Amino acid sequence: MQPACPRARGTAPRPLRRAHWGLLLLAPLASAGNLQVAPILLEFSDGVQAQALWLENNGDQPLHAQVRVQHWTQSDAADVLEPSQMLLARPAIVQIGPGQRQLVRVLRPAPVPTGDPQEQAYRLLVDELPAPHVKPNQGLNFLLRYSIPAFVLPAGASPRELGSKAATDTSGLHARWQLDPGLLTLTVHNTGAQRVRLSQLRWLPENGPPIELTPGLLGYVLAGQHMQWTLPLPHPFPLTGTLQARLNDAAIPQPLRSADL
């Protein structure tokens, strides 16, 4: 889970271009976070034209929410989101009563092109909307935002999230890293047909125990794209070693293949 992403009522949202995305982004709320969303990831395989997204209100007042679809790519080592009609959220704006749930159907209006070798990535941005009875001058209030990954799989591919916990094929994943005083710069290029999620990054020195660098999620590298992260290093840090990460839902960390990108 990524750090909080607050958005004040009455202000324009920040540009949707970030270096790191988690499965879920939460903003701290005066209302104690009454909007809940499930599931936290969607996949569309062959023949699947719709998926269910559930929005739940755990509070004691009605709430309003909006679901927007963004095409997700990676450029200049950053995530880029752009509005898209390739997936549709119906209904896109909802009112949910206290203790109630609302079904939002996420639709894929067109089948996957048979010649498309790579999966397409999207983000479903679920925003809590300002309550109509609260005036802007009644103080600063923060609204929830969830960012839900959604993937349209290439023809013939199996859903990755329902697969086994076996080791991920790393033949299409190539990494390069640079060690500077106090910093590690890691670039990962994914030439495969599906995304790779990296977490639990650690450094394996030639001598000594592993050094944990990111205990949780590091981020995604989308199919056919690359990402870069700069991470602080503890001091002292052994300069000779290699990197491991947990890839997707593999049970154990795997070495990152070092290559010139």
Residue 239's DSSP bridge partners are none
Which amino acid belongs to residue 90?
Answer: R
Contact 261, 189 (CB under 8 A): yes
Mean of pLDDT values over 46-68: 95
At residue 153, the pLDDT reads: 93
Residues 6+ apart with CB under 8 A from 73: 79, 80, 82, 121, 222, 225
Contact 225, 188 (CB under 8 A): no
Mean of pLDDT values over 246-261: 84
At residue 67, the pLDDT reads: 98
At residue 155, the pLDDT reads: 84
Strand 93-96 relative to strand 78-83, pairing: unpaired
For residue 114, pLDDT over 80 is answered with no
Regarding predicted confidence, which is higher, 250 or 148? Answer: 148
Under CATH, which number does the domain 17-152 receive? 2.60.40.10
At residue 230, the pLDDT reads: 96
Give Cα 100 to chain centroid, integer Å.
26
User: For the domain with range 173-255, which CATH number is right: 3.40.190, 3.40.50, 2.60.40, 2.40.10?
Assistant: 2.60.40
Every domain of the chain and the residues it spans = 17-152, 173-255
Q: What angle do CA 34, 38, 39 make, to 5 degrees?
A: 155
Mean of pLDDT values over 167-172: 88
Contact 159, 153 (CB under 8 A): yes
Residues 6+ apart with CB under 8 A from 12: none
Least confident piece of the model among 40-54, 136-150, 200-214: 136-150
At residue 138, the pLDDT reads: 56
pLDDT, tens only, 122-169? 999 999 998 776 665 555 567 889 999 999 998 888 888 776 677 888
For residue 49, pLDDT over 60 is answered with yes
Enter the tokens of residue 238.
Answer: 């052994």
